[in-house]
Structures are given as structure tokens and as C-alpha cells.
Amino acid sequence: MKRFLMLAAAAILAGLAGMWLGQRFHPVASPQQPLTAVSQPVNFSLPDIHGKKRSIADWNGKIRIVNFWATWCPPCREEIPEFIKAQRQFGPRGLQIIGVAVDRTSRVIPFYKARGMNYPVLLGEQEGAQLMEQYGDAEGGLPYSLVLDRQGRIVASQLGAFSESRLERVLRPYFPPSS
């Protein structure tokens, strides 16, 4: 428990530092340019809010945004409505937002229901913080998002909240406007 609280405090401080320094978006490759063989697909399993073990690979074939967040993180809370909107708009065309809560399950489930989140949330707790670091968030700041191509490879990452315009720019190559 003490370790979890220390990780949470570090994540808050890193998140505040990230906000102070500005959001950072890191494209790894363009949608037309495949990643090198060095980049392995993201794959991990965690329970969802219903207790069912889910793997990120369950959504292979879709463009995925894996968003690490917590209920106590103000920038995380601010971007959730944008994810709800994007899931509603692009879900039928192959987008899947996946939340990974780096928080206590007892806080996540009521938050999820109250916010009307329309995408799956996996319960990461302490393991979520380890996964963030494994997939590029060395500072442990929240929110942290990975954009995965249809094969599950990281094509971009972002430390800090997605704004509506930034999320639109990230998704446009995969979901061009209909003519």
C-alpha cells in the first residue's frame, strides 16, 4: 500500500511537471510507414471492471488508443469526454479506446459509471504503473496514451491530456473524413 501511495504521488508530480512543460506527442511512424521489426506489438492482460480478464490483443484489427489514467488526475478527467466522443464517432469505423486505470478498483467503477464511459476500462492498479514504464512513460506521468496500429504496434505516444484538436489530428490518417 505504501509503495502504491508513493507511486501515486510520483505520478501526480510527474503529471504536473508534464503539464508545466507542455504536452508531448511522439509519432513513431506514419500510418503509411510500417514500424521496424524492433517494435513488438503491445500485449498485456488485465481484468476489466466486470472482473473479466481482457488482453489488448482482443482488439487486434482495430486502431487502439490505450490511455493510462486515474480518477484523481485532473488532466485525465478532462480528456475522458474527448475519448467518449471519439469512441462514439469512430468506433463503428474501427477505433477502440481502452482505458487502463492506475487507481484503486473501488474508485474506478463508480467513476466509470458516473461519467458514462463508453469504452472498456481495465483495472491496472500498481501493475498499470509498471506497464506505463514498460511502454515508454519513464517519468510515470498521467495521463499517458499509446496509439496502436491494427497489428498492435505503437505508432505514437503522448504524455499529457489529448485535446479535441490533437486527438483529431492523430486519428485523421486512420479515419479520413467521408466525402
Lowest mean pLDDT among 84-98, 107-121, 163-177: 163-177
Residue 40 has pLDDT above 60, yes or no: yes
Residue 106 lies in a domain: yes
Look at the chain and report how many structural domains it folds into: 1
Q: Indicate the helix (H) or strand (E) that contains 86.
A: helix 74-90
State the residue range of the domain holding 95.
2-32+41-171
CATH number at residue 47: 3.40.30.10
Q: Residue 63 carries which DSSP code?
A: E
Residue 179 lies in a domain: no
Nearest to 45 by CA among 1, 92, 97, 98: 98
Nearest to 68 by CA among 166, 147, 1: 147
Q: Looking at residue 177, what is its pLDDT?
A: 87
Q: Residue 119 carries which DSSP code?
A: S
Residue 47 lies in a domain: yes
Residue 176 lies in a domain: no
Residue 26 lies in a domain: yes
Residue 149 has pLDDT above 90, yes or no: yes
Residue 177 lies in a domain: no
Give the whole-angstrom CA distance, residue 100 versus residue 129.
10
Residue 79 lies in a domain: yes
Task: Determine contact, residues 41/62, Cβ cutoff 8 Å.
Answer: no
Residue 147 has pLDDT above 60, yes or no: yes
The long-range contacts involving 105-112, CB below 8 angstroms and separated by at least 24 positions, are: 105/49, 107/71, 107/72, 108/49, 108/71, 109/49, 111/71, 112/49
Residue-wise pLDDT for 93-136, tens only, equals 999 999 999 999 999 999 999 999 999 999 999 999 999 999 99
Residue 146 lies in a domain: yes
Cα 64 to Cα 26, 126, 148: the distances in Å are 16, 22, 5
More confident residue, 128 or 12: 128
Q: Which residues of 23-34 are buried (b: 16+ CB within 10 A; e: fewer)?
A: eeeeebeeeeee
Q: Looking at residue 16, what is its pLDDT?
A: 42
Q: Looking at residue 71, what is its pLDDT?
A: 98
Mean pLDDT, the chain, rounded, equals: 84
Q: Looking at residue 34, what is its pLDDT?
A: 36
Residue 13 has pLDDT above 80, yes or no: no
Q: What is the pTM of this model?
A: 0.80
Residue 29 has pLDDT above 90, yes or no: no
